[in-house]
Chain A
Amino acid sequence: MRTHATPIDSVFRALSDPTRRDVLERLCKSPGSVSELAEPFDMALPSFVEHLKVLEGCGLVRSTKVGRVRTYRLVPKRLRVAEDWLSQQRVLWERRLDQLDSYLLELKGKHP
């Protein structure tokens, strides 16, 4: 079983969530602090911070801390991965085979 997601896969997984897409859209306008970014969302701050961590983890955003304020900015270059056609094909196949492998293990469990 494959256990590690490819870097491309991590970008697509990050982009699969509507909250994270909204944050990216907001960051297209200008960098923002955690509280500024969290403001439009009806969500507990720790959950929101998790979303920011996912975005930073795959390189779509970068943050810097000055005093007690952490500011996030977009890394546009990383986003371009998502528009590459072959990357999209790869993600399709990775997901397909992830589903196949889980299904195979499920079948094996039923008929050991």
Chain B
Amino acid sequence: MKTDLDLVLERVVDVPPELVWAAWTKPEHLKKWFTPAPWTVTTCEIDLRPGGIFSTTMRSPEGQEFPNVGCYLEVLPQKRLVFTDTLLPGYRPAQNPFMTAIIAIEPHGSGTRYTATALHRDEAARKKHEEMGFHKGWGTALDQLVAHAKKM
């Protein structure tokens, strides 16, 4: 873990592991939750095997679309899913890698505990993130505000 680059989020949810696995690995499910509203997922392609495609197209509230293409590295049904945009389908190296995500799933009582770990490349990768415009979701007013507060 690099504390300045990585995130670990752990959740316990009262549904069986099969359901958590399905939500992460079936496009019809993933499209429903993968992007924080008001962003949406317009397309999602999944070939669930190491080297298989994992791609999502995210659509901003303004209607701009941002494709993300990567592949799976590990697929252990109901236990562990690892995907990255560092490698394209078939393990071809990608132009602008940003992150690798590790999803670990285990039974917890009648429910499931899952941990999402996001490993980010470095500060340079944040450029790509900014191009994707996620922070624009907060509005330009906020950007101006932050810029102003820095001067105070």
Binding site for B on A (CB under 8 A): 1-2, 12, 15-16, 18, 21-22, 24-25, 28, 74, 76, 79-80, 82-83, 85-86, 88-90, 92-97, 99-105, 107-108
Whether A104 pairs with B134 at a CB distance below 8 angstroms is no
Whether B33 pairs with A100 at a CB distance below 8 angstroms is yes
- In the complex, the 5 A-B pairs of residues with the closest C-beta atoms, listed nearest first: A95-B36, A99-B33, A79-B149, A76-B149, A103-B33
CA distance A90 to B33 in the complex (A): 16
CA distance A2 to B149 in the complex (A): 31
User: Quick check: is B118 within 8 A (CB to CB) of the other chain?
Assistant: yes
CA distance A89 to B123 in the complex (A): 13
Closest residue on chain B to residue A6 by CB atoms = B9
**Which of B12, B138, B145, B152 has the most chain A CB within a 10 Å cutoff?**
B145
Note all chain B residues with C-beta closer than 8 A to A107. 15, 19, 23, 29
Whether A2 pairs with B11 at a CB distance below 8 angstroms is yes
